[in-house]
Amino acid sequence: MKILTDIKDAKLNNTVVTVGKFDGLHKGHAKLFDVLTEVSEGRDKVVLTFSAKPIDVINNMISRTLVTENEKQLLCEAKGIDYYISLPLTKEFLDLSPEAFVKNVLVDSLDVRYFVCGPDFTFGKFGAGDVELLTKLATYYGFDVIVVEKERYNNTDIGSTGIREKIIQGDIMMANEMLGHPYSVLGKVVEGKRLGRTIGIPTANIIPDENKILPPKGAYCTRIIVGGKTYMAVSNVGINPTVEDGRVLKIESHLLDFAGDIYGEIIKVEFADFLRKEQKFDGVDELKKQIQKDIKKAREILA
């Protein structure tokens, strides 16, 4: 997959395109990507996405997201996307009229043949363009628009907002159902106090991106992917109040049936289910006993 950050660098030919923020790349997004693949017939599959939401740029703020930029790239690559174009939302871009967006971006830069979108897709300044206008412009410029109906779960449209709420509430299983893949956090293993090693429960610690949406502080049964292999694990999201000073939020994971040094390695923590809230124990021995209980429960859930 080729990654671009400037539409002027594209200059593509004969493409199939979808456009959006794609936060989380949930089942609804996957449905769009599947249609993109179905109609491609050898054409380059293009995802045009953005580094921020228009409302964030207008209000000069940064929203927390389900996926970081790197995580989104990896998910798109796994879906077989050929070109991943992530654009900064400049004032110039946000001021494009709907007609200018179609002509300058979709037609002149991407040479679109099929455009795939949901029924609520909007584009151009203030989101003034809708699917009806897009279809008219597509007829004029000579490409086809394919509108894909929303994916639903429990009689509700699947959307990033609802999934964010489930993650924040700690409802990992429901979030994973709507995502269509495990909610995960990618990060580099950093050195800690190595206390886990002294009690026979070593951990791989990562510091999440500050804009990444995280579940509530507590223990979770997880799977860790490192070096192309997957391990069952127990992970704690929090500050480890029993032995830490409470300043740095970390994800500390104890990999089951694993022995090795993975400091500096990139790992993927896939969340499966909630185990318990984070708590402060009377001492290291009590902490160890609870982690052993967590490990037993995690094995039962993940088996």
Residues 73-130: tens digit of each pLDDT: 999 999 999 999 998 888 888 899 999 999 999 999 999 999 999 999 999 998 899 9
Q: 191 pLDDT band (50/70/90 cuts)?
A: confident
What pLDDT score does 194 carry? 60
Residue 281's pLDDT is what? 77
Q: Is the pLDDT of residue 196 over 80?
A: no
Q: Binning pLDDT at 50, 70 and 90, where does residue 246 land?
A: low
pTM: 0.88
Report pLDDT for 36.
Answer: 97
**Whether residue 212 has pLDDT greater than 90:** yes
Question: What does pLDDT average to over the chain?
Answer: 90
Query: Which pLDDT score is estimated for 126?
Result: 87
pLDDT of residue 200: 74
Domains (range + CATH), the chain: 2-153 (3.40.50.620), 183-302 (2.40.30.30)
The answer on pLDDT for 236 being more than 60 is: yes
Q: What is the pLDDT of residue 193?
A: 66
Token readout for 86 is: 């992530």
SS (H, E, C) the chain: CEEECCHHHCCCCCEEEEECCCCCCCHHHHHHHHHHHHHHCCCEEEEEEECCCHHHHHHCCCCCECCCHHHHHHHHHHCCCCEEEEECCCHHHHCCCHHHHHHHHHHHHCCEEEEEECCCCCECHHHCECHHHHHHHHHHHCCEEEECCCCEECCEECCHHHHHHHHHHCCHHHHHHHHCCCCEEEEECECCCCHHHHCCCCCEEECCCCCECCCCCEEEEEEEEECCEEEEEEEEEECCCCCCCCCCCEEEEEECCCCCCCCCCEEEEEEEEEEEECCCCCCHHHHHHHHHHHHHHHHHHHC
Which pLDDT band, with edges at 50, 70 and 90, does 39 fall under? Answer: very high
Predicted confidence at residue 197, as pLDDT, reads 60
